[in-house]
Structure 1
Amino acid sequence: MQQFGVQFYQASLTAEDIDKLVRFEVLSYGESGQPAVRGGKSPSKVNWDLLERRIASSEKAYQRQIIRRKIDELVQYYEQCRQARDLPSIPGAVIISCDEKLSFEPAEPGAIVGRLKVPEREGILRAIDGQHRLLALHADIDNMRGHDFAVPAIIFDRLPEDHIVQMFVTINAKHTRLNASHLVSLSGRQLYRDESLAVAHDVVRALNDREDSPLHGEIKLLGVGRGRVAQAPLAQELKKLFAGDAFGGPRKSADFHDDAKKFFVNYFKQVAVVFGAAWGGRKYSIKSAAALRAFVRVSPDVVRRLDQEHVDRSDFRAIGRVIAPWGRRIGDQRFETEGAWKRSGTTVDSLARELKLALEYPEGAGV
């Protein structure tokens, strides 16, 4: 199946497939953190000692604690369905991701129905939505053996980590009343294994959370919140810069990771000063995803000029001096939504080129 260029699979997995292939993990908060399972032990049909050994706790996970009562209720419901045989126990698809590329063999050339090949390795699949349902199935697996039992599943392969986390938060915040703050408040290194993506998340979060940031409250973090700007495009733009040597060689780039939050907050504060009318106006597109991505894309050019002046990269006044030509060369009118913005068909690439050119030729020479 495809949606907006994203490919995924709608599959049928047996109870034995789920039991073997799916790994279960919950978010831990370090040594003083919470247990993987929440709720006191009471008489139950679930072998909790066995089940808890199947649930891993990790600072890299994003799932909430497992709710003991919910598992008990689901196991009881599965038993009722098995005895009554008039209702399916898992009629809705669970959502699963796989870190590896999966292969699909169509039933015939060009068909969208066929066989999905999943490596038969323990724990290769990870639940995005439906972890409680699958854990209850695992707890009740002995009663499932011998029955023709299929679990509908949506499976993604090699989905980027930030997309997985955002999908999890969006689904659970809207449908299970998850307080997304337990994820939004985490540092990037707790959410993502990729160092560049982790730093990008921390920068975007600083831009949204810090009260002195001109983008305070304007960004929808992990798909949640009142902000108008989505986190994902900004984070991906930043990730590309941090993953390369955009900020000057591996060592300089690594050192810059620690100061990146301060730099980008001060950088956008000066952007808001240079384009004051546009930043504070309602009829401008300066806070659109395209414009913000363009400002991020030219930030290495700004940093190079700061290095040439031998000043601290996060120096507020120095940043203002470097980007001052934008006010003269580009101006607020460039961002009028119904004016130059639409008339020129502005894209991230086109605006980034204009911004770079204005830095290179501050007085207009060579244009």
Structure 2
Amino acid sequence: MSEKMEYPYIELEQPGGTFYVTTMLASELVDRVEIKRRGSTPDGIQRNPDTKRISEIKKYALREDAVFPTPIIISCDGEIINTDTKTVSFTKHGSLGHILDGQHRVLGLQQLTKEQQAKFKLLVIFVTGTDVYSDATIFLTINSNQKPVPKSLIYDLFGISEERTEIKACHEIAKSLNSEKDSPLHNKIKMLGIKTSPTETISQSAFIDSLKPLVSSKGCFRAYYENERDDIILRILLSCFSALAKTFPTEWNSNNHLLAKTVGFGGLMKAMPQMFTAGAEQGSLTEEFFREIFERLRENLESRYLTLTKKDFQTSNDAMIKFSQLIIESI
């Protein structure tokens, strides 16, 4: 029988759940926790590791004055919490659970020898009975106001929620536009804000930041959102982007042009309410309707000797507004 290890805990009861606080030597902890990454596993919440940060933590841990006073938070199997003895109790082998916060500290400490790890007694907080949404909520609560967490990852984690929200609706639309092979935005969106392909030219956060106002209380897509007809929003956007890609094929498929980048996409979304109103009045929001607008836009650009490049549209909010105004003039 495997020898049991026991650590007394302090119980913290809060409105959102109960937490079990204890201390453990790094040498007894860091090799026994899992890291579930977003994109690698369906219930993953952690961002990709920052190798530079891990190296810096290792280097820091070797200093004589090194301290790690903040807790490692772990989602665990409730069986290791022994409420009779008020201890966290487990055998010397096997996983203790997966990390909700502290992955870089753990990865940095893993680079040390067991003797070096044993110098650090770590504050550890266990939480039990969580599902992936609870894990994501805890992760976001800790990290959403800290700069190192990419905004795209935060938006992606909101997509885990079973509750219907504006951000989740926008997330699902972005995911569909990016994944559908017939979509003009196929593989053009960096879904976690991390570029994995040369074709990805707009981040998920930029996409959602531009689309969300259209489904908000005063947005032109609000009625569809309230009636849970996100499929109609998706069809309108597909028609719009298909028309844009066919009208400006060279510009659409070139990384040197702004159309499929933040400036182009943001400008298009700023002009969408006016295009939507015009299309609704005509009873048409088809690809043909948008194609007529973009043909006039092309003529408008040519008459002013403007190209859809940084030469005439700097990557700034002013350029986004300038592009949206040109679209509006072409309706």
Give the counterpart of 1:49 among 79, 82, 88: 79
Q: Which residue of 2 aligns with 1:88?
A: 120
Letter in 2 for 1:70: S
Q: Which amino acid aligns with 1:328?
A: E
User: 2-side partners of 1:52 and 1:234: how far apart?
Assistant: 47
Match of 2:173 in 1: 203
Q: Residue 295 of structure 1 aligns with which residue?
A: 268
Aligned residue in 1 for 2:94: 69
TM-score when normalising by structure 1: 0.50
CA contact (8 A) 2:193 2:203 kept: yes
Report deviation, 1:276. Answer: 2.5
Q: Which amino acid is the alignment partner of residue 79 of structure 2?
A: D
Aligned-partner Cα distance in 2 for 1:87–1:198: 44
Gap change, CA 1:48 and 1:336, over 3 Å in 2:
closer
CA separation of 1:264 and 1:304: change in aligned 2, threshold 3 A: same
Q: How does 1:104-253 map to 2 (within 5 A)?
A: 127-128=138-139, 155-156=142-143, 166=153, 190-191=160-161, 193=163, 195-224=165-194, 225-226=196-197, 227-247=200-220, 251=223
Once the two structures are TM-superposed, the CA of residue 310 in structure 1 deviates from its matched residue by 1.4
Q: Which digits, 9 at most, give the CA deviation of each residue in 1:8-56, with x for residues without a partner?
A: xxxxxxx748x4457599x9xxxxx99xxxxxxxxxxx98436599xxx
C-alpha distance in 2, partners of 1:69/1:85? 19
Provide the rounded CA distance (Å) in 2 between the counterparts of 1:253 and 1:73. Answer: 35
Gaps of 5+ in 2: 1-8, 20-35, 37-41, 44-75, 84-92, 100-108, 110-115, 126-133
Question: Which stretches in structure 1 are left out of the alignment for 5+ residues?
Answer: 1-14, 28-32, 35-45, 54-67, 78-83, 95-122, 130-153, 170-182, 360-367
Matched-pair contact (CA < 8 Å) for 1:306–1:322: no
1:336-355 equivalences in 2 (<5 Å): 336-342=308-314, 346-355=318-327
Distance 1:346 1:262, change over 3 A: same
Q: 1:166 to 1:89 in 2, by over 3 A?
A: farther
Once residues 213 and 82 of structure 2 are traced to their aligned partners in structure 1, the CA distance between those partners, rounded to angstroms, is: 39
Residue 284 of structure 1 and its aligned partner are, at CA, apart by 1.8
Distance 2:245 2:323 in 1: 16
Aligned length: 236
Structure 1 counterpart of 2:119, one-letter code: L
Go from structure 1 to structure 2 and tell me whether the alpha carbon gap of 1:90 and 1:167 turns closer, same or farther (over 3 Å shift).
farther
Looking at structure 2, the residues matched to 197 and 220 of structure 1 have their Cα atoms a distance apart, in angstroms, of 16
- 2:17 and 2:289 map into 1 onto residues whose CA distance is 50
Is the partner of 2:119 in helix, strand or coil? coil
- Counterpart CA distance in 2 for 1:163 and 1:211 is 26
CA distance change for structure 1 residues 87 and 271 in 2, over 3 Å: closer, same or farther?
Answer: same
- Root mean square deviation, CA, Å: 5.0
| Residues 282 and 289 of structure 1: CA distance in aligned 2, closer, same or farther (over 3 Å) | closer
The answer on whether the counterparts of 2:263 and 2:316 sit within 8 Å (CA) in structure 1 is no
Q: 1-side partners of 2:252 and 2:77: how far apart?
A: 59
- The code of the aligned residue for 2:330 comes to A
TM-superposition CA deviations, 1:117-146 (whole Å, max 9, x none): xxxxxx9x95429xxxxxxxxxxxxxxxxx
Q: Which amino acid in the other structure matches residue 271 of structure 1?
A: L
Contact 1:279 1:287 in 2 (8 A): yes
In 1, Cα distance between the equivalents of 2:209 and 2:330? 25
